[in-house]
Amino acid sequence: MDSPEQFDDSSPLEPHSPISTDTPATQPSVLFDDNLNYLLHNFSLDDQYILVTGGLGFIGSHTALELLKANYNVIVIDDFSNSYRDVFDRIQLLASKYHEEKGTSVPSLQLHGHDYRDTNALRALLEQYRLAPRWGSPKSKIAGVIHFAAHKAVEESIREPLKYYANNVSGLVNFVGTLGEFGIKTFIFSSSATVYGTLANSGVPLKEELCVHRPEVIKGDDGIDRIVQPGCTGITNPYGRTKWMCEAILADLAFSDPEWTIVVLRYFNPIGCDPSGLLGEDPRGIPTNLLPVVVKVMTGQYDELKMFGTDWDTEDGTAIRDFIHVTDLARGHIAALSAANEGKLRENFRTFNLGTGQGHSVLEVVNSMEAVSSKPIARTAAGRRPGDVGYCVAVPLRSHEELKWKTEKTLMDACVDICNFLDVSGLSSQQ
């Protein structure tokens, strides 16, 4: 074992010491020891932070909670454009309760209420977590970033594409540029099954390799290798294109600089909420996802649910989706982070589907909510929305094998949890 003196931070490094030709066994590397020394004195695991943009939103808030449960310190950036400040208190409350019951201490949770594109505010924040080794690349106490902040409404993206390209794409380019300057190069990106475009309708199983950003050699089910070329097929709306573009940008970044580790998570359809009912899907403005609209019907705010597209080629005519419980989805981020930080990824840019692998129709979901809540949900057939597809279900095998992650919760669990959310928030008595 090395003597403590060898790690003494006070021994100055000779700026121009000749590079030794001795083997490492006979002479320890001064440069290496000096840096290790710095890290040992300035950095402990308790002192690691995960930066979560959009951390007060639907998926971000659930992920922040799961991170805190898994003992990560969390820094949230959110501009409240689609969330409310009090979500922060509820995350804090749930994390405190969890750790109190376990007799463990609660990691720290901090909120920075600004646009993630505000580079001055971002720099000031990152400066606080900067570690300053005397040589080499910059280091940070921020061990990883999970980037949720984005606009996400498909229909709005068709009407206002520039709003989507500005926030989702331009924002990302500047963001990763700044992170890189501070030596923060572990990045988890919220992508979407929409990157599969019309392939979702084509009957082929939705595997990650259907949408790649560099040529990849893939072994087919027949055992024969084939090369898949980068590109996308029939992405049906600007929102989906922003996600594809961000993926491509991140793939290029990872290729250009092997210090980056980038995990792209392609979500299918997140639903449900934390079983406590304290966190939920509570967007500002007019909701576009299925369950928030169902909730509005259940609470009397809307007269009926419009089921967009009842003439798809499915058993009941409504669209089929892979509905994944948001807590399972949140835990997928913890699995991705662990795999990234433990060096377990096959490449420094890797895409993963996060879904259950099982499809349910829109009608099935509505009927399940009705059964669980014992409340009738008025619904009516409406035409297909522009940009929709009829079938979209994940093949989640890569996540199972490489992230060691699997969903645990069912559609019924999600419905029960949403009813809890309605009870806790007092919405269920509004009817």
Crossing angle for the helix pair 238-256 and 171-181, to the nearest 10 degrees: 20
CA 124/CA 130 separation, integer angstroms: 10
Closest CB to ligand NAD among 37 and 61?
61
**Taking CB under 6 A as the rule, which mask of x and - marks residues 130-149 in contact with ligand NAD?**
------------------xx
Stretches 74-82, 103-111, 336-344, 364-372: which one binds ligand NAD (CB under 6 A)? 74-82
Pick from 34, 48, 50, 58: which binds ligand NAD (CB under 6 A)?
Answer: 58
| Contact string (CB under 6 A) for ligand NAD, positions 260-299, x = contact | -------x-xx------------x-----x----------
Provide the 3-class DSSP secondary structure of residue 128: helix
Site for ligand NAD (CB under 6 A): how many residues? 30
Place of tokens 């970033």: 145
Q: In this structure, what token pair is assigned to residue 196?
A: 């599969």
Which residue's CB is nearer to ligand NAD, number 57 or number 277?
Answer: 57
Question: Which of left, alpha, beta for 223 (phi over 0: left; psi -120 to 50: alpha)?
Answer: left
Task: Specify whether the CB–CB gap between 183 and 143 falls below 8 A.
Answer: no
Q: Give the closest residue to 352 by CA, choosing from 409, 395, 392.
A: 395
Give the per-residue contact string, 79-118, with ligand NAD (x = CB under 6 A; - = no).
xxxxx-------------------------------xxx-
Answer for which of 50, 51, 52, 56 binds ligand NAD (CB under 6 A) is 56
Alpha-carbon distance values, 223 to 170, 349, 411 (Å) = 41, 24, 35
Q: Does residue 77 interact with ligand NAD by CB under 6 A?
A: yes
Q: Please report whether residue 348 would count as binding ligand NAD according to CB under 6 A.
A: no
> At CA 246, angle to CA 243 and CA 251, rounded to 5?
125
Question: What count of other Cβ atoms lies within 10 Å of the Cβ of residue 152?
Answer: 24
What is the closest distance, in whole angstroms, from the C-beta atom of residue 154 to ligand NAD in the complex? 10
**Closer residue to ligand NAD (CB): 169 or 339:** 169
* CA atoms within a 13 Å half-sphere pointing along the CA-CB vector of 108: 10
Q: Does 353 bind ligand NAD (CB under 6 A)?
A: no
Q: How many CA atoms lie within 13 A of 251 on its CB side?
A: 19
Q: Is 54 in the site for ligand NAD (CB under 6 A)?
A: yes
Does 167 engage in binding with ligand NAD (CB under 6 A)?
A: yes
Of 53 and 186, the one with the shorter C-beta distance to ligand NAD is 53
Listed in sequence order, the DSSP H helices in 235-284 are 238-256
- Catalytic hit among 49, 116, 129, 239: 239
Q: What b/e string do you get for 244-265 counting C-beta neighbours within 10 Å, with b at 16 or more? A: bbbbbbbbebbeeeeebbbbbb
Distance of closest approach, residue 80 Cβ to ligand NAD, in angstroms: 5
Closest CB to ligand NAD among 171 and 357?
Answer: 171
Least distance from ligand NAD to the Cβ atom of residue 61, Å: 8
DSSP code for 168: I
List the alpha helices (DSSP H) in 43-110: 58-69, 86-102
- For residue 30, the one-letter residue type is V
State which residue, 139 or 246, has the beta carbon closest to ligand NAD: 246
Task: Write down the least CB distance from residue 287 to ligand NAD, Å.
Answer: 10
Residue nearest to ligand NAD (CB): 57
* Torsion angle in degrees (nearest 10) through CA of 315, 320, 326, 331: 100
Round to whole Å and give the CA distance between 194 and 247.
12
Among 51, 59, 76, 262, binds ligand NAD (CB under 6 A): 59
Q: How many helices (H) and strands (E) does the chain have?
A: 13, 18
| Residue 238, beta-bridge partner list | none
DSSP 317: S
- Is 239 known to be catalytic? yes
**DSSP letter assigned to residue 374:** T
Q: Contact letters (x/-) for ligand NAD, 217-256, by CB under 6 A?
A: ----------------------------------------
Stretch that binds ligand NAD, among 26-34, 49-57, 342-350, 397-405 (CB under 6 A): 49-57
Q: Which of 408, 407, 103, 418 is nearest to 276 (CA)?
A: 418
Candidate ranges 29-37, 76-84, 198-206, 345-353; the one touching ligand NAD (CB under 6 A): 76-84
Take residue 253 and report the two structure tokens written for it. Answer: 């970044």
Least distance (Å) from ligand NAD to the CB of residue 3?
49
CB of 108 to ligand NAD, least distance (A): 20
**What is the nearest approach in angstroms of ligand NAD to the Cβ of residue 247?**
12
Residues annotated as catalytic are 239
Residues in touch with ligand NAD (CB under 6 A): 53-54, 56-60, 77-83, 115-117, 148-150, 152, 167, 171, 190, 192, 267, 269-270, 283, 289
